[in-house]
Structure 1
Amino acid sequence: MVKKTAPAAPNADEGAADTKSARTRQRILDAAANVLSRKGYAGTRLSEVADIADLQTPAIYYYFPSRDDLVEEVMWSGIAGLKEEVTAVLADLPADTPPIERIMVAVETHLRHELEVSDYATASIRNSGQIPEKMRTRQKEEDSAYGRIWRELFDDAAAAGDLHPELHPVIAQMLVVGALNWAAEWWSRSRGSLDDVVRNAQLMIRNGLSPDRG
């Protein structure tokens, strides 16, 4: 898998000071996101997280009571960060951007964030079905909120006549987002550039949704 940068995860405590302790906590989260994105839930070891974060393993317990608490934070942060990125990019588009073009922008933003920008997003997407259900409460809430962004995109496209009349907007949305998420499982630079992935995804989705397809 391509090595990505690991931007700061969204912090549940927005008033947290930029102290040495806060920076150390962030370093642990970044390291955990990196390991979890590559090795999965079962393969994530605190010893490797500590090595990447340049800490002794016991130091992690000062910030997180358990391995699962650390993983849960990474999983939530991954979806929260992805949602924030897509929301921000869509908000910057001109108000008259056609609904189908807004979907294309969301497709590109999702893929680039998942595959190139954030270990957190990759970790969250790849491990969603691996972690125990009790650890998924916050992540599932963010998943639902993120899904509502895509639901609105597809509803708007349907209302504008940008979707084939035989398509069910919700089913189409779930299939599209599922395909975007699956890219985290198979893509590497040896399979083509990320630009190629984005172009192919946009072409397939645009043609698949179009009311004018043959």
Structure 2
Amino acid sequence: MGVGSPSERGERRGRKSIQTRTRILDATAKVLSTKGYAGTHLRDVAEVAGVRATAIYYYFDSRDALVEEVLWWGLADLRRHVRDTLDAAGPCDNRIDRIMMAVDAHLRRELEVSDYTTASIRNTAQIPEHLRTRAGKEAADYGRMWHQLIEDAAHEGEIRSDMDLFVVRMLLLGSLNWAAEWHRADLVPVATVVTSAQALIRQALTAPHAAQQTVATLG
């Protein structure tokens, strides 16, 4: 008959609803990543998503509910991506190499791949406390992953013994996250940011004997 059965029409409506919800989330991530929490308004989100502002309330109870979803997803996606990258490490990758892989994965996700991750990194500290529960849990889990990375490298003697490992983690993640604030793709390629960060971090962390072993291996 051309119009489809009731179940077929329901399936089409369901797919369209999911697509519209996704467009709204994508638009929110884009607006948040550039304008911040205070500057994000539903009319801006609606314009980017191509929907009426009133239609957003069909999917989300409030602007804060929409923001909370985006920030949680951004951190969850970042953690999964870095975890997958580390799981793909080869047997020849030492502990410092794994830290460098994580640095690469974090920066590229933050700076060139995901508006969600950029929005999360730039806005989690700005949102009201009651919206931070899910995002805060993801951030804590992500921090523990980095803690384990650094602890493993220290246990293998690959990190200088005069380093406080908690301070190392906080400074390292802080510097990676701060890149979202200053980086401009038209001035500095992301690849340059990644290689510069890796060189700086490797030089700062590597124990002298581990550095000598690396040079000997390369030689």
Q: Does TM, scored on the shorter chain, surpass 0.5?
A: yes
- 1:69 maps onto 2:65 in alignment: yes
Aligned to 2:7: none
Aligned to 2:47: 51
Distance 1:66 1:73 in 2: 11
Aligned to 1:196: 192
Identity percentage over the alignment?
50
Q: Which has the higher contact order (CA 8 A, sep 6+)?
A: 1
Aligned to 1:10: none
Give RMSD over aligned pairs: 1.3
Compute the displacement of 1:96 (Å): 4.1
Match of 1:125 among 105, 121, 128: 121
Q: Which has the higher helix share?
A: 2
1:139-161 per-residue CA deviation (whole Å, 9 max, x = no partner) reads 00000111111011001000111
- 1:104 maps onto 2:81 in alignment: no
Match of 2:36, SS state, is helix
1:144-195 per-residue CA deviation (whole Å, 9 max, x = no partner) reads 1111110110010001111111001121011101100000000002431111
Aligned to 2:8: none
Match of 1:156 among 132, 152, 157: 152
Max radius of gyration: which structure? Answer: 2
Match of 2:109 among 107, 113, 122: 113
* Unaligned segments of structure 1, at least 5 residues: 1-16
Alignment of 1:1-214 (within 5 A): 19-212=15-208
Q: Provide TM-score, normalisation by structure 1.
A: 0.89
User: Does structure 2 conserve the Cα–Cα contact (< 8 Å) formed by 1:79 and 1:143?
Assistant: yes
Distance 2:32 2:159 in 1: 37
Distance 1:158 1:64 in 2: 45
Distance 2:31 2:188 in 1: 24
* Unaligned segments of structure 2, at least 5 residues: 1-12, 212-219
How many residues matched?
197
User: Does structure 2 conserve the Cα–Cα contact (< 8 Å) formed by 1:154 and 1:170?
Assistant: no
